[in-house]
Structure formats: C-alpha cells, structure tokens
Amino acid sequence: MAYAYDDQNVFAKILRGEIPNDTVMETEHSLAFRDIQPQAPVHVLVIPKGPYVSFDHFAQEASEAEIVDYVRTVGEVCRMEGVEEQGFRLISNAGRDGVQEVPHLHVHVLAGRPLGRMLARAE
C-alpha cells in the first residue's frame, strides 16, 4: 500500500520544535522522548526523524542508515534506562486495528514493573 504522511501530527510538530518534549536521547536520524501519559515507570517513545507512518512504511522506504540508527537507538534507550536486566516491552501500534493514535512511526519502550501478559483478551 502507498502511505500518505500527515505532517500536522504531534510528533512531526515535536520534530520541528513547535511543541516541547522530554528528550531521552537524540541521534542523526532518531529521537527518543518520554511519553506524556506514561503507562509504566519507564515509558519512552522512539521515533525516526523521517516522515514514516508505521513500521511497515519505514521498513519499505527508509535508508539503511536510518534503519540502523533507529534500531540502535531503541537498544541504547534500554541501556540508558537500565532496563535490560529486569526486562522491557517494545510496542509499535499501526493503523486502525493497532489503534495507532499518532500517525508517525514510534516504538513504545515500556519497563520498570511487571507488565502482565502481552494482550488483554477483548470481547
């Protein structure tokens, strides 16, 4: 499918410096910042700086340099937050069924307490 990127989404505004963020780390191609409504003691969002809607979009169209930078940034956030030993969860919601609220690729890094089972059984 062809992805259309909406540059008015909140993470695009963060990347343009139009709204503030609580930065954890920044690299050439990626930004990591704290979620405004944390769902665990550690809740960091990692985004690429490029205009990608979802993980699939990113995997299809990002350069190898962007992909390497992004994956290494996720790992570095885990080390910086000190969660590699106790464990962590990565989540990347996409589209309608994934209940993605912000249409700019982000990985949630969740940690700092037992996180329960991966999915609650719904309906």
User: Could you give the residue numbers annotated as active site?
Assistant: 106
Per CB under 6 A, does 25 bind ligand AMP?
no
Name which of 29 and 106 has its Cβ closer to ligand AMP: 106
Rounded CA-CA distance 106/10 in Å is 12
Contact pattern for ligand AMP over residues 68 through 97, marking x by CB under 6 A: -------------------------x----
- Residue 28: closest CA among 58, 89, 73: 73
Residue 83 CA to residue 101 CA, distance in Å, equals: 26
Question: Out of 10, 25, 74, 115, which residue is the one contacting ligand AMP (CB under 6 A)?
Answer: 10
The verdict on 35 binding ligand AMP (CB under 6 A) reads yes
Residue among 37, 103, 111 nearest 74 (CA): 111
Residue 56 as a binder of ligand AMP (CB under 6 A): the answer is no
